[in-house]
């Protein structure tokens, strides 16, 4: 009888041993909660395709932010759904517009105890649902859009956002936002660049969440699913333009990209576990096909293991609660 001289199982014998030798751990501080606020709502509105996620009223958003502080979350990422939309998304620039007001309300509620992030993008504000304004041919006009993003960024920083998240995948958006912020005196407002953002089928439930008006797709600005090298170019450009954090999105179908970016980025890497990833696990769990808590924990752990320093996830609060228990 010969015995294996190497026995990796020795380090798996007990929960305590496994805890000691764990290579990756989860902590509430790395989790960011994406949250939706809808203008004119009297009661929070459940999002059918994202069980457990709602469009918030001002009151419930403030409560969610306060709870995020109690749980020790890293941040909250705010998305606004306006009552009226137009071709240019002008409501995005109104200091009293839904998103800018939400930023102000949340900042008043939590101060600096939570990193308040906000979406710099036009898709929630345009009546055609694209992330930018259109030219005469219906093509998203990069440079005119970037000018609007720069104004949005200043409005959001004025409202009190700590970190801005340009998610529209326009060329030069980070540089334009950085320079506008600096000129407005917001030199300490940081930018989390959605650097490698792919055109994904998994954004489906988000479109319901923000009542998206989009017909068609975003393939002229978001990346093709098969492209890996191109992600590095996008990240390098955003770094050169002054990104403070770079993001990969979606997360679960793009873990190789997360790993690639983590290997080369001198700044923290974020990954966004998006609406469709949330919906898939919730739906399978609701059918009794997977263990909900174990699947959620494993999915976020996998994103962290791939190299993401911080994870945007709709489970941020619930997961942080579990982490506090254990
Ligand atoms: C665009 C934006 C989207 C998401 C975040 N920001 C949608 C899109 O690009 O179509 C998707 C997030 C998710 O699916 O959870 N402002």
Task: Give the phi and the psi of residue 35 in degrees, each rounded to 5.
Answer: -140, 140
CA of 19 to the centre of ligand 1 (A): 35
CA of 159 to the centre of ligand 1 (A): 22
Which is nearest to 259 in space by CA: 306, 298, 215?
A: 306
Tokens representing 203?
């954004």
Asked if 324 contacts 28 with a C-beta cutoff of 8 angstroms, the reply is yes
Rounded Cα distance between 143 and 175, Å, is: 12
Nearest atom within ligand 1 for CA of residue 202: 14
Task: Give the phi and the psi of residue 172 in degrees, each rounded to 5.
Answer: 80, 10
Asked if 43 contacts 84 with a C-beta cutoff of 8 angstroms, the reply is no
Nearest CA to ligand 1 atom 1: 167
- Over the chain (326 residues), the average pLDDT of each successive run of 10 is 95 98 98 98 97 98 98 98 97 98 98 98 97 97 98 98 98 98 98 98 94 94 98 98 98 98 98 98 98 98 98 98 92
CA of 194 to the centre of ligand 1 (A): 10
Nearest atom within ligand 1 for CA of residue 122: 16
Long-range contacts at 55-60 (CB < 8 A, ≥ 24 apart): 55/81, 55/209, 58/101, 58/102, 58/105
Nearest atom within ligand 1 for CA of residue 273: 15
CA of 206 to the centre of ligand 1 (A): 6
The secondary structure element, H or E, covering residue 253 is none
Nearest CA to ligand 1 atom 7: 203
Nearest CA to ligand 1 atom 2: 167
Nearest atom within ligand 1 for CA of residue 276: 14
Q: Residue 324 catalytic?
A: no
Asked if 56 contacts 47 with a C-beta cutoff of 8 angstroms, the reply is no
Tokens representing 284?
């399978």
Ligand 1 pocket list (CB less than 6 A)? 119, 121, 123, 131, 167, 203, 206, 218, 274-275
Tokens representing 285?
């769990």
Selecting among 62, 197, 215, 324, the annotated active-site residue is 197
Q: Residue 101 catalytic?
A: no
Select from 122, 124, 128, 203 the residue to mutate for testing ligand 1; criterion: most ligand atoms less than 8 Å from CB.
203
Place of tokens 């096909």: 289
Nearest atom within ligand 1 for CA of residue 194: 6
CA of 95 to the centre of ligand 1 (A): 23
C-alpha dihedral sign at 255, 257, 258, 262: positive
CA of 207 to the centre of ligand 1 (A): 7
Which is nearest to 194 in space by CA: 231, 166, 164, 161?
A: 166
Rounded Cα distance between 81 and 123, Å, is: 10
């Amino acid at each position: 009888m010969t015995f294996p001289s190497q026995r990796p199982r020795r380090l798996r014998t007990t929960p305590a041993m496994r805890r000691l030798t764990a290579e990756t751990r989860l902590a509430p501080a790395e989790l960011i909660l994406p949250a939706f606020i809808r203008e004119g709502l009297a009661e929070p509105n459940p999002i059918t395709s994202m069980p457990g996620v709602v469009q918030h009223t001002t009151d419930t958003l403030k409560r969610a932010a306060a709870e995020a502080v109690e749980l020790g979350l890293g941040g909250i990422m705010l998305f606004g759904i306006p009552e009226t939309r137009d071709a240019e998304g002008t409501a995005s620039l109104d200091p009293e517009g839904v998103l800018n007001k939400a930023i102000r309300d949340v900042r008043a509620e939590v101060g600096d105890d939570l990193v308040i992030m906000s979406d710099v993008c036009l898709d929630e504000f345009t009546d055609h649902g694209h992330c930018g304004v259109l030219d005469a041919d219906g093509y998203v006009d990069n440079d005119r859009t970037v000018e609007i993003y720069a104004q949005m960024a200043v409005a959001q920083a004025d409202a009190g956002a700590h970190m801005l998240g340009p998610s529209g995948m326009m060329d030069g958006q980070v540089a334009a936002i950085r320079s506008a912020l600096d000129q407005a005196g917001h030199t300490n407002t940081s930018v989390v660049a959605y650097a490698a953002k792919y055109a994904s089928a998994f954004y489906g439930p988000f479109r319901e969440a923000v009542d998206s008006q989009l017909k068609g797709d975003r393939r002229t600005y978001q990346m093709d699913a098969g492209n890996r090298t191109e992600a590095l170019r996008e990240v390098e450009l955003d770094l050169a333009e002054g990104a403070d954090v770079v993001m990969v999105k979606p997360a679960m179908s793009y873990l190789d990209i997360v790993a690639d970016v983590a290997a080369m980025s001198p700044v923290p890497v974020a990954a966004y576990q998006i609406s469709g990833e949330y919906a898939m696990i919730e739906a399978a769990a609701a059918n009794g096909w997977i263990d909900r808590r174990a699947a959620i924990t494993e999915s976020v752990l996998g994103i962290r293991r791939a190299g993401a320093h911080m994870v945007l996830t709709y489970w941020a609060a619930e997961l942080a609660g579990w982490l506090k228990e254990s």
